[in-house]
Amino acid sequence: MCGIIGYTGSREALPVLIAGLEALEYRGYDSAGLSLGGQLVKKVGKVAVLKAATAELTDTTATTGLAHTRWATHGEPTEANAHPHTDATGHIHLVHNGIIENWRELRAGLEAQGIAFYSATDTEVLAKLIGHHYTGDLLAAVRTALALVRGAYGIVVWSNDAPDTLVVARLGSPIVLGITDDGRYVASDPTALLPYTKRLVFLADGEVATLTPTHHQVVSVQGDIYSGKEEEVSFDIEVAKKEGYAHFMEKEIFEAPSVLENAIRGRILPDHSGVKLGGLEAVAGEVATLSQLTIVACGSASFAGQLGRLMLEEYVGLPTTVEIGSEYRYRRTLAPSGAGVLAVTQSGETADTLASIKLAKDNGLLTLGIVNVVGSSIARETAAGVYNHAGPEVAVASTKAFLSQLTVLSLLTLFIGQIKDTLKPEDRATILRDLARLPDLAKTVLESASHIKAIAEKYKAMENCMYIGRKWHAPLAYEGALKLKETTYIHAEGYPAGELKHGSIALLGPDFPVIALAPLDEVYEKTMSNVEEVKARRSPVILITTDDNHGASEITPDVIEVPKVHPMLQPILTTIPLQLLAYYIGVARGLNVDQPRNLAKSVTVE
């Protein structure tokens, strides 16, 4: 949520800023701006609009600059509200990711001293506050101002008194420095730095750093000097390209076979006897004695978590709950002794999930993570974890990461069942044999893409839609509805099938299609009773079921089949048609499915 890039060094800064913003655009895309050699350019809209506007800059030779792509929190997407923001003199420029919670009182105090504001943002308040305390030493002014603010921030600040110096700081919102021989880089996400360097310094909360073309020094807000430990990251960033696909979302859905392969590679022991999760080895003893697990996540990741709960309770007997990060962090929770907390997160930066992990840590609980982005805040904050290795997910709506989360949760279930000895070796082997087949079976599902596209065409004009499913497919009903809302703006709801008759069935009728997720499993007949209730209200039905369901076409003409696998793994295959349906309907409605309105990829504000 909001992307930040900054550079000071020996090369021209403008291309670095633009390339950085393009790499970070998924974090926010309602407006963008940059500061280069004292010149400010701000535009409403995508980075491309800002890039075009830089053609009018009189001087593009500056070798220091900072830039920002915004996802509005305070104030609408307008040029005035876009970053960078300035102090009262206009000589200090600042970009910010996060929220300054006490902005109202700070603003009132500054206004009382005659300082005028031009925007509706909390960020301008911080810029003005720094300017107010500035007496020629930018670092000192930043530290003084930060001591007065409450909230979360990742910031980069520049002053025209020291035009090749950047001051950066972090509290709650990620900031990473890139070290090279040509200068110092700073970004809100390593993705933007990896084209230049793998030598990174991850700022910790409460740290402030000064960057010059040849040096960086990290101190605390209080002024203690830190080492600013440099890390050589080992991961490679594939330059995300669409590779012939029309959209990143399409490409990422079609990556399913390799995503599944990458999630399980090297993790299944010979003869399907068990699993090996290297990232959990150090805490295996604590995991073996876990008394309870709370899965903390947001959005799609929380629906993956709900499936994880079903897996762990059904097959391992480990009491498990699922909590939404934004609720967990503000609630009194009653964890028994020996309990653990597992964060499930693609970005590893979701503010509420991160805060929940910090809380769990403070409460002395074992913290674990299933994280896609290597080196992200949650990956670093948790005691141990498992990476998804799904590769960068660029489309804002999560597809391949969700699939991978389900796969890793099934591996985790097997791992816990193995070390707790609550899942029999023969049962583990049965599940693992099917797990190993998933990449090939995903290919089979993707072969039905044109059929799913035809169904999408038929239903593209609907304005309401209900997803229903039972047991393993209830969480998928929520996920299906969320995906459709994001990419098509169609009002959609997900319900456990048996719950419909307790109210929501009142909505149904010929204009309100229902998508039933019903593999031929132990709850199939129950779900079919609910489908009959739906049909009796004349709602059209799309049925997603398994390929052994030979009577499916008698239920509805719109049937999508997926191969049958072990019940615990079935949702992994059923997910793919849900994603394709949302994608094709979004495209058929002429929408930008990769960057839906009002959304941002990485939700770093609470």
Structure tokens at 439: 């990449």
Q: Does 486 bind ligand F6R (CB under 6 A)?
A: yes
Nearest-approach distance from CB 115 to ligand F6R, in angstroms:
36
Let me know: does 394 contact 295? Beta carbons within 8 Å. Answer: no
Question: For ligand F6R, which is the closer residue by CB, 358 or 535?
Answer: 358
- In the list 280, 603, 604, 606, the residue contacting ligand F6R (rule: CB under 6 A) is 603
502: which residues sit within 8 A by CB, 6+ positions away?
Answer: none
Structure tokens at 327: 């609720």
Structure tokens at 550: 């030979």
Question: For ligand F6R, which is the closer residue by CB, 304 or 455?
Answer: 304
147: which residues sit within 8 A by CB, 6+ positions away?
Answer: 221
Position with the least CB separation from ligand F6R = 299
Nearest-approach distance from CB 326 to ligand F6R, in angstroms:
11
The catalytic site residues sit at 2, 601
- In the list 301, 435, 441, 516, the residue contacting ligand F6R (rule: CB under 6 A) is 301
Select from 360, 18, 11, 12 the least CA-distant residue to 3.
18
Gap between the Cα atoms of 586 and 485, Å rounded: 9
Let me know: does 124 contact 118? Beta carbons within 8 Å. Answer: yes
**How crowded is residue 71: how many other Cβ atoms within 10 Å of its Cβ?**
22
Report CA dihedral (306, 312, 314, 319) to the nearest 10 degrees: -90
- In the list 188, 398, 407, 410, the residue contacting ligand F6R (rule: CB under 6 A) is 398
- In the list 5, 145, 390, 397, the residue contacting ligand F6R (rule: CB under 6 A) is 397
Q: Does 579 bind ligand F6R (CB under 6 A)?
A: no
List binders of ligand F6R among 331-350 (CB under 6 A): 345-347, 350
Nearest-approach distance from CB 372 to ligand F6R, in angstroms:
7
One-letter amino acid of 360? A
The site for ligand F6R, by CB under 6 A, has a size of: 15
Nearest-approach distance from CB 543 to ligand F6R, in angstroms:
24
Question: For ligand F6R, which is the closer residue by CB, 197 or 345?
Answer: 345
Q: What is the DSSP string of 545-573?
A: EETT-TTGGGT-SEEEEE----TTTHHHH
Gap between the Cα atoms of 206 and 172, Å rounded: 9
- In the list 191, 353, 530, 539, the residue contacting ligand F6R (rule: CB under 6 A) is 353
User: What 8-state DSSP symbol labels residue 367?
Assistant: E
| SS3 state at 254 | helix
Nearest-approach distance from CB 304 to ligand F6R, in angstroms:
8
List binders of ligand F6R among 583-602 (CB under 6 A): 602
- What angle is formed at CA 567 by the lines to CA 566 and CA 569, rounded to 5 degrees? 70
Nearest-approach distance from CB 300 to ligand F6R, in angstroms:
3
Q: Does 366 bind ligand F6R (CB under 6 A)?
A: no
Nearest-approach distance from CB 70 to ligand F6R, in angstroms:
18
Nearest-approach distance from CB 348 to ligand F6R, in angstroms:
7
Question: For ligand F6R, which is the closer residue by CB, 466 or 603?
Answer: 603
What contacts 24+ positions apart, CB below 8 Å, involve 141-149?
Answer: 141/92, 142/167, 142/169, 142/208, 143/208, 143/219, 143/221, 143/222, 143/223, 146/171, 146/208, 146/221, 147/221, 148/106, 149/100, 149/101, 149/102, 149/106
**Could you tell me where the beta strands, DSSP code E, fall in 133-212?**
151-159, 166-171, 176-180, 183-187, 199-202, 207-211
List binders of ligand F6R among 240-299 (CB under 6 A): 298-299
Question: For ligand F6R, which is the closer residue by CB, 149 or 600?
Answer: 600
**How crowded is residue 510: how many other Cβ atoms within 10 Å of its Cβ?**
9
- In the list 63, 64, 119, 300, the residue contacting ligand F6R (rule: CB under 6 A) is 300
Structure tokens at 356: 């929940």
Residues at the interface with ligand F6R (CB under 6 A): 298-301, 345-347, 350, 353, 397-398, 482, 486, 602-603
